[in-house]
């Protein structure tokens, strides 16, 4: 059986039960044990009433338990919803309410924030707590709480009977929404496996590889780290957040753990390059460096290639809605090159094409919007049928292939050899540190402050992180609103990477002839 994500684990556990699957903060677990404990978690979830298709949240920092949770939820027939461990309570409460999460796997360290989340009429009924401490845990009154150790009471040899098929959901990843609330991208087993299988074939992963996992679980880069490691029987080394934060420590981690495959946003590599004292190490084991999520400024990539000349570098492109859909293997970079890299050509089992405003395929030199066709396309946005229909549309461009295609909103051009080049966005979505940010979501939060009369958010280009965010605010009463108040307001509603770094108060904002705020005139 090989049509569900958990089948990857079953196959590897069968073949290499003693191979180390995960190493995190000194804890290790073999594939055999990973298989057994996740069976137990799945049985426990079923015993608590979880049925096929139920959304189950994971609110944990990087740990062996977070990976166990993913697989246990899948084996129970559930849909895992990873929650950003650093997101503010209001945002988490929204997500939990939005896709009706009744069961959450978390840790006693998160209880203070969980109490905040429950203040807001949440559907949460069951909490499974991964906690090493055996002391008293302050329980939440309305929610049934089970400690992790209870899993030991459940059967471990096989998972509960399965009813899930490949077109059923495996997970939901929430991304920035332009009207103010994040939207849940629904991904099926088949969607995920399309990407996982392409990566396995294209990158020639092997059992002796050691993959890091830098990206948080709610970011789809983690799908490669977790599931391609399992598929090939490699060892996964999730990077504890406190190490990611300190670049010198991160460089040490990569060298000491003998990481062979790295995948992250360019910002993380630039952070390492500028502050990680990389010249202390040779990184002889690092053979593959993959990056995705934002443009990698060519000067930093050139420098990194000089420091780690023996590694293969790949630029991967694709929105969360399709996962990676094109890829480009980096060649030598000319010393005087200033243009960013190509995003390459379509991955196996995926088709991409770009059309201009006249619905014609673009020719070399022309610009158009990129569309994607294939089994990696999401099922849609949770609870947003209209938004889904805007972007998952019938294929009017290819008679005979009328099924859905996804419009990316990315503008690209194509060169003589058929390689795509990313130009920019059609709309107000920007990238900062590789994170996807709808300026409209930030603006909605600004407007939600009673003292804000008008607000606008713009991107200020930055060579290290892509963009910084600047907010312009027209307060109702000048002098009554402080910058710190705005920042506090944003911190309570937005993830840290979306909180404006720069704030400017104005008496009014420039308008277009139709009365809309003219962001082009703001800087």
Partner 1 sequence: MELIEKVVRDFLLGDVPSDQGETFLNDDDNLFEKGLIDSIRLFKLVSFLEERFGIAIPDGDVIADNFQSVNTIKDLLRSKLP
- Given candidates 15, 155, 246, 356, which one binds partner 1 under the rule CB under 8 A? 246
List for the chain the helix, strand, coil content (%; round to 5): 30, 25, 40
By the 10 Å C-beta count (0-12 exposed, 13-18 middle, 19+ buried), 86 is classed as exposed
Q: Which of residues 116-155 bind partner 1 (CB under 8 A)?
A: 116
Q: Which stretch binds partner 1 (CB under 8 A): 3-11, 112-120, 161-169, 401-409?
A: 112-120
Which is nearer to partner 1, 166 or 492 (by Cβ)?
Answer: 492
State the binding string over 421-460 for partner 1 (x if CB under 8 A, else -).
------------x---------------------------
Place of tokens 């990566």: 199
Q: Residue 243 interacts with partner 1 (CB under 8 A)?
A: yes
Closer of 276 and 318 to partner 1 (Cβ)? 276
Residue 113 interacts with partner 1 (CB under 8 A): yes or no: yes
- Residues sharing a CB contact under 8 Å with residue 269, sequence separation 6 or more, in sequence order: 289, 291, 296, 300, 304
Note whether 303 binds partner 1 by CB under 8 A: no
State the CB neighbour count (10 A cutoff) for residue 277.
12
Q: According to the binding rule CB under 8 A, does residue 244 interact with partner 1?
A: yes
CA distance 341 to 286: 22
Mapped onto helix, strand or coil, the DSSP state of residue 292 is strand
| Site membership for partner 1, residue 107 (CB under 8 A) | no
Write down the least CB distance from residue 496 to partner 1, Å: 6
- Assess 255 for contact with partner 1 (CB under 8 A): no
DSSP letters for 218-243:
TSTHHHIIIIIHHHHT-EEEEPPHHH
Closest CA to 412 of 354, 475, 360, 358: 354
For residue 271, the minimal CB distance to partner 1 (Å) is 6
- Indicate whether 484 belongs to the interface with partner 1 (CB under 8 A): yes
Kindly give the pairing relationship between strand 420-425 and strand 404-414. antiparallel
Report if residue 488 touches partner 1, rule: CB under 8 A: yes
**Choices 7-15, 240-248, 308-316, 503-511; region in contact with partner 1 by CB under 8 A:** 240-248
For the CA atoms of 83, 86, 89, 93, what is the dihedral angle to 10 degrees? -10
User: In terms of CB distance, is 202 or 307 closer to partner 1?
Assistant: 307
**What's the order of all strands across the beta sheet hosting 55-58?**
144-147, 126-129, 103-106, 55-58, 79-82, 169-175, 183-188, 380-381
Q: How far apart are CA 330 and CA 302, in angstroms?
A: 10
Closest approach of Cβ 330 to partner 1, in Å? 25
89/301 with CB nearer partner 1: 89
Q: Contact 317/327 with Cβ under 8 angstroms?
A: yes
User: Residue with structure tokens 């849609």?
Assistant: 380
- Applying CB under 8 A, what is the total number of residues that bind partner 1? 28
Q: In the complex with partner 1, which residue's Cβ is closer, 9 or 430? A: 430
Q: How far is the CB of 109 from partner 1 (least distance, A)?
A: 7
CB of 88 to partner 1, least distance (A): 6
506 binds partner 1 per the rule CB under 8 A: no
Q: Does 168 bind partner 1 (CB under 8 A)?
A: no
Q: Is 269 helix (H, G, I), strand (E, B) or coil?
A: helix
Shortest Å distance, C-beta 252 to partner 1:
9
Q: Out of 31, 198, 271, 382, name the contact with partner 1 by CB under 8 A.
A: 271
Among the listed residues 454, 503, 500, the one whose alpha carbon sits nearest the alpha carbon of residue 482: 503
How many angstroms separate the CA atoms of 375 and 371, rounded?
Answer: 13
Residues 70-99 touching partner 1, rule: CB under 8 A, are 86, 88-89
Rule CB under 8 A: say whether 497 interacts with partner 1: yes
Dihedral sign, CA of 504, 505, 507, 509? positive
Strand partners, 20: 30
| Member of 82, 238, 276, 319 binding partner 1 (CB under 8 A) | 276
Cβ 245 to partner 1 shortest distance, Å = 5
502 near partner 1 (CB under 8 A): no
- Give the position of tokens 């598929």: 231
Positions touching partner 1 (CB under 8 A) are 86, 88-89, 109, 112-113, 116, 241-249, 271, 275-277, 433, 484, 487-488, 491-492, 496-497
């Amino acid at each position: 059986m090989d049509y569900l994500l958990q089948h990857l684990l079953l196959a590897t556990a069968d073949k290499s039960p003693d191979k180390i699957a995960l190493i995190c903060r000194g804890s290790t677990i073999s594939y055999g044990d990973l298989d057994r404990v996740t069976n137990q978690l799945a049985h426990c979830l079923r015993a608590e009433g979880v049925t096929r298709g139920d959304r189950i949240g994971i609110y944990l920092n990087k740990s062996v338990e977070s990976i166990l949770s993913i697989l246990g939820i899948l084996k129970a027939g559930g849909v895992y919803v990873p929650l950003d461990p650093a997101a503010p309570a209001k945002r988490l409460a929204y997500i939990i309410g939005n896709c009706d999460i009744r069961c959450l796997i978390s840790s006693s360290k998160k209880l203070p924030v969980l109490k905040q989340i429950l203040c807001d009429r949440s559907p949460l009924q069951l909490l499974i707590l991964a906690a090493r401490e055996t002391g008293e845990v302050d329980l939440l009154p309305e929610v049934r709480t089970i400690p992790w150790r209870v899993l030991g009471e459940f059967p471990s040899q096989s998972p509960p009977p399965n009813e899930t098929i490949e077109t059923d959901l495996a997970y939901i990843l929430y991304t920035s929404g332009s009207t103010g609330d994040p939207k849940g991208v629904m991904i099926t087993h088949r969607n995920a496996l399309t990407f996982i299988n392409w990566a396995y074939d294209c990158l020639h992963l092997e059992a002796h590889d050691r993959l890091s996992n830098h990206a948080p679980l709610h970011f789809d880069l983690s799908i490669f780290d977790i599931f391609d490691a399992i598929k090939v029987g490699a060892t996964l080394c999730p990077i504890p957040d406190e190490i990611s934060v300190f670049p010198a420590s991160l460089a040490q981690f990569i060298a000491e753990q003998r990481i062979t495959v790295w995948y992250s946003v360019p910002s993380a590599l630039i952070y390492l390059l500028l502050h990680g004292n990389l010249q202390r190490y040779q990184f002889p084991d690092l053979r593959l460096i993959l990056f995705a999520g934002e443009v990698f400024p060519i000067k930093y990539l050139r420098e990194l290639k000089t420091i780690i000349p023996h590694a293969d570098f790949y630029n991967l492109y694709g929105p969360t809605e399709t996962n990676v859909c094109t890829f480009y293997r980096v060649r030598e970079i000319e010393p005087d090159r200033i243009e960013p890299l190509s995003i390459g050509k379509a991955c196996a089992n995926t088709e991409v094409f770009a059309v201009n405003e006249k619905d014609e395929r673009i020719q070399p030199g022309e610009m158009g919007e990129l569309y994607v066709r294939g089994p990696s396309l999401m099922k849609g946005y949770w609870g947003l049928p209209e938004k889904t229909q805007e972007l998952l549309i019938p294929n009017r461009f290819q008679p005979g292939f009328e099924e859905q295609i996804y419009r990316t909103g990315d503008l690209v051009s194509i060169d003589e050899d058929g390689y795509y080049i990313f130009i920019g966005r059609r709309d107000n979505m920007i990238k900062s540190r590789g994170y996807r940010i709808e300026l409209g979501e930030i603006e909605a939060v600004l407007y939600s402050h009673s003292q804000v009369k008008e607000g606008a958010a713009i991107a200020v280009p930055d060579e290290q992180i892509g963009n910084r965010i600047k907010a312009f605010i027209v307060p109702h009463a000048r002098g009554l609103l402080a910058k710190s108040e705005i920042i506090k307001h944003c911190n309570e509603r937005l993830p840290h990477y979306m909180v404006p770094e720069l704030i400017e108060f104005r008496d009014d904002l420039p308008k277009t002839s139709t009365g809309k705020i003219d962001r082009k005139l703001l800087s």
